[in-house]
Structure 1
Amino acid sequence: MQTDRREHIRTALNAKVRVVHNDLGEGLFSTRDISDGGVFVVVEDGSFVPEIGDVVIIQVQGLPVPAPELTMVVVRKSVDGFGLQFADE
C-alpha cells in the first residue's frame, strides 16, 4: 500500500500557463491542479519534456493584467506532464 507523501492539498485547476525553459524554449500548456507547494502542467504531445531538477519560469495567461512570472523547479514527471514546485519551497 502506497502512502501519500503530499505536504499540501491539491485543488483541480484548469488554467493556461506559459512555461519557459532555458534549453527547451517556451510553450503554452494547461494545468491540472495546484497547491500551496506547486502546480502540475499537462503536456499533451510530449513535445516539452524538462528533466527533474530543471528550473523553469511559469506565468498564468488570459488574465486582465499580466500575471507575475514565477520561478519553479521540476520535481516530478509522468506520461502526461510534469509537477513543479515553487523555487522558494
Structure 2
Amino acid sequence: MRTALNARVRVVHDSLGEGVFSTRDISDGGIFVVVEDGGFAPDIGDVVTVQVQGLPVPAPELTMVVVRKSPDGFGLQFADE
C-alpha cells in the first residue's frame, strides 16, 4: 500500500552527483522521488544513497535501487543490506 508523503530527500548517485528532491509517496518497499526538471535521471538498476532532509537530527543514509522511471521522476526500492 502506498501512502502519500511529501518529504525532502537528498539522493546521491555515483556518476550523476547529488540533488535534493521531493517524494510523492512511500510504501513498505520504497519511495517515489519527483524530479521537476528531468536533469537528474538515473537508469533502472542504478544504486543510490538517500537521506531525508530537514529533521532535527541527521537521518540515516539508505541504499536504494532504481526500479521504475516516469516522466516526473523515479521509483526507488530499499536495497537488501
**TM score, norm. by length of structure 1:** 0.90
Task: Using the TM superposition, give the Cα deviation of residue 50 of structure 1 relative to its aligned residue in structure 2, in angstroms.
Answer: 0.1
Q: What are structure 1's unaligned runs of at least 5 residues? A: 1-8
Unaligned ranges ≥5, structure 2: none
CA-CA distance at 1:88 after TM superposition: 1.1
1:38 is aligned to 2:7: no
Higher share in strand: 2
Q: Given the alignment of the two structures, is residue 58 of structure 1 paired with residue 50 of structure 2, yes or no?
A: yes
Mark the structure with the bigger radius of gyration: 1
- The share of aligned pairs that are identical, in percent, is 85
Aligned length: 81
Off by >4 Å, runs of 4+ in structure 1 = none
